[in-house]
Amino acid sequence: MVFKISPLSPRNIQELPPLSGVRIATAEAGIKYKGRTDLLFILFDEPASVAGVFTRSQCPSAPVDHCRASLPHGVARGVVVNSGNANAFTGRKGKQTTDSIARAAASALKVKENEIFIASTGVIGEPMDAACVVNLLPNMAATAEEGNWLEAAKAIMTTDTFPKLSTRRFDCGGETVTINGIAKGAGMIAPDMATTLSFVVSDADISSDILQSMLSEAVQGSFNSITVDSDTSTSDTLMMFATGKVKGNFLPLMSKSDPRYEVFAKQLSGLLRELALQVVCDGEGARHLIEVNVTGATTDSAAKTVALSIANSPLVKTAIAGEDANWGRVVMAVGKAGVEVDRDLLTIWFGEHRLAINGERDPEYREETIGTYMQGKHITIRVDIGLGVGKATVWSCDLTQEYVMINGDYRS
């Protein structure tokens, strides 16, 4: 474990406003970590709308199974999240654990079990004892308070070096609404769906199906456009809730043709992107944030394939770690992506520096001039394919010795 804070962390941690009727409690369940909170209970005093996006892993965790099964009911009253154990690949015992947790939380709140959502993050394959969670829930339910978002973000951290929070407050059809979001990340971060736990709550009144539509759209340009190490977790969970408790006269948003849809969706996209970038900036061992912009591909999808090929390439990522403008490795990553490109039409920039054009090194390029740029924390790699109008942006981080240390050597 590395305790120091990522050099890419935001200067200031955002303060999230309390949301009426959304109460939060955290506790030390001692599942794996000692001397810190590892359990989060979010309670909705009245039924909230709910939407979710989950891992596409063929080996999803028991909590993911539970959430998928509960989602069609469309009502949320509570969310229980733990760190330290993923309750993944734990067979029948895993389901018994989520059943026990759902039962205990539902009982504490006097609601239905399928109105409780569960997420777990941590080691895969360790059986998880429900008791240490279940025993704490009644007291947490009794003592939960509005606010406490920072504590919520901290309780779900694993190898994260800073808590991840984002908030938006904006006018939506004449009323001021709020969206609060928290996330955790660190390793096993790759799209489809970004390997994080993330929980977003708004006080707006939005139906569950519309909430799902907004969430599924907004995830594309945020959590589905980041990668730390190309590994996809068994536990990826992004859930969103809407309480409808906003003050004033906010009529229920129940249609995509409602003009407030676009307003809200845009703010949600911004918030999710901010959370997703915080996840990349806290990628295990990350020292540089890498933004990859691909333009001129035959389709947007082809552009994204190329962008991910660059963003996931160990050789590109180690070069950035070494502050080396090794654009030849970008050519390699474009070439291996498997989509239509024409080598002799490629143009490549690092920041504003054009390094290659017309299938060869830019004759104007001087390696001396790029040194300072490569020492920056935020490196932008731009590739124009020269064939069409398809474009995509993805974010990644560099691959450092610390990544290897965190993920392998810490036991030895």
Q: Is 158 annotated as a binding residue?
A: yes
The answer to the question of residue 338 lying near a copy of itself (CB under 8 A) is yes
Based on CB atoms, which residue is closest to a copy of itself, 60 or 163?
60
Beta-bridge partner residues of 295: 384
Show Cβ contacts of residue 291 under 8 Å, excluding neighbours closer than 6 positions: 378, 379, 380, 381, 393, 394, 395
State yes or no: residue 327 binds a copy of itself (CB under 8 A). Answer: yes
Binding a copy of itself (rule: CB under 8 A), the pick from 17, 174, 335, 376 is 335
> Residues 195, 227, 234, 237: which is the catalytic one?
195
Under the binding rule (CB under 8 A), the answer on residue 390 touching a copy of itself is no
Stretch that binds a copy of itself, among 27-35, 162-170, 255-263, 309-317 (CB under 8 A): 309-317
195 in a known ligand binding site:
yes
319 binds a copy of itself (CB under 8 A): yes
3-state secondary structure the chain: CCCCCCCCCCCCCCCCCCCCCEEEEEECCCCCCCCCCCEEEEEEEEEEEEEEEECCCCCCCHHHHHHHHHHHHCCEEEEEEEEEECCCCCHHHHHHHHHHHHHHHHHHHCCCHHHEEEEEEEECCCCCCCHHHHCCHHHHHHHCEECCHHHHHHHCCCCCCCCEEEEEEEEECCEEEEEEEEEECCCCCCCCCCCCEEEEEECCCECHHHHHHHHHHHCCCCHHHEECCCCCCCCCEEEEEECCCCCCCCCCECCCCCCHHHHHHHHHHHHHHHHHHHHHHCCCCCCCEEEEEEEEECCHHHHHHHHHHHHHCHHHHHHHHCCCCCHHHHHHHHHHCCCCCCHHHCEEEECCEEEEECCEECCCCCHHHHHHHHCCCEEEEEEECCCCCEEEEEEEECCCHHHHHHHCHHHC
Out of 111, 356, 370, 394, name the contact with a copy of itself by CB under 8 A.
Answer: 356
Quote the least distance from Cβ 132 to a copy of itself, whole Å.
19
Residue 235, marked binder:
no
Q: Counting contacts by CB under 8 A, is residue 407 touching a copy of itself? A: yes
407 is in an annotated binding site: yes
User: What's the rounded Cα separation, in Å, for the pair 361 and 357?
Assistant: 6
Of the candidate residues 9, 324, 386, 387, the single one contacting a copy of itself (CB under 8 A):
324
User: Binding to a copy of itself by residue 60, rule CB under 8 A?
Assistant: yes
Q: Does 376 bind a copy of itself (CB under 8 A)?
A: no
User: Which CB, 266 or 354, lies closer to a copy of itself?
Assistant: 354
Active site residue 195: yes
Residue 32 as a binder of a copy of itself (CB under 8 A): the answer is no
Q: Does residue number 404 form part of the binding site for a copy of itself (CB under 8 A)?
A: yes
Nearer to a copy of itself, 19 or 333 (CB): 333
**Nearer to a copy of itself (CB atom), residue 88 or residue 239:** 88
Q: Is 37 labelled a binding residue?
A: no
Closer residue to a copy of itself in complex, CB, 38/284: 284
129 touches a copy of itself (CB under 8 A): no
Distance CA 63, CA 41 (A): 15
Tell me whether residue 262 or residue 344 sits nearer to a copy of itself (CB atom): 344
**Footprint (CB under 8 A) of a copy of itself, residues 189-208:** 190
354 belongs to the binding site for a copy of itself (CB under 8 A): no
Q: Is 82 annotated as a binding residue?
A: no
Q: Is 229 in the site for a copy of itself (CB under 8 A)?
A: yes
Alpha-carbon gap, residue 57 to 60, rounded angstroms: 6
Minimal distance, residue 115 CB to a copy of itself, in Å: 26
Interaction between residue 280 and a copy of itself (CB under 8 A):
no
User: Measured between alpha carbons, how far is 214 from 222 in angstroms, rounded to an integer?
Assistant: 13
Based on the shown chain and the rule CB under 8 A, indicate whether residue 56 belongs to the binding site for a copy of itself. yes
Residue 121 or residue 243: which is nearer to a copy of itself going by CB?
121
Which string of x and - marks every residue 75-94 that binds a copy of itself (by CB under 8 A)? Answer: -----------x-xxxxxxx
Count the residues of the shown chain that bind a copy of itself, applying the rule CB under 8 A: 75
348-381 as b/e: b if 16+ CB within 10 A: bbbbebbbbbeeeebeebeeeebeebbeeeebbb
Name which of residues 108 to 127 contact a copy of itself (CB under 8 A). 123-127
Question: Among all residues, which ones are annotated catalytic?
Answer: 195
Annotated binding site for substrate: 158, 184, 195, 284, 407, 412
Residues tagged in the binding site annotation:
158, 184, 195, 284, 407, 412
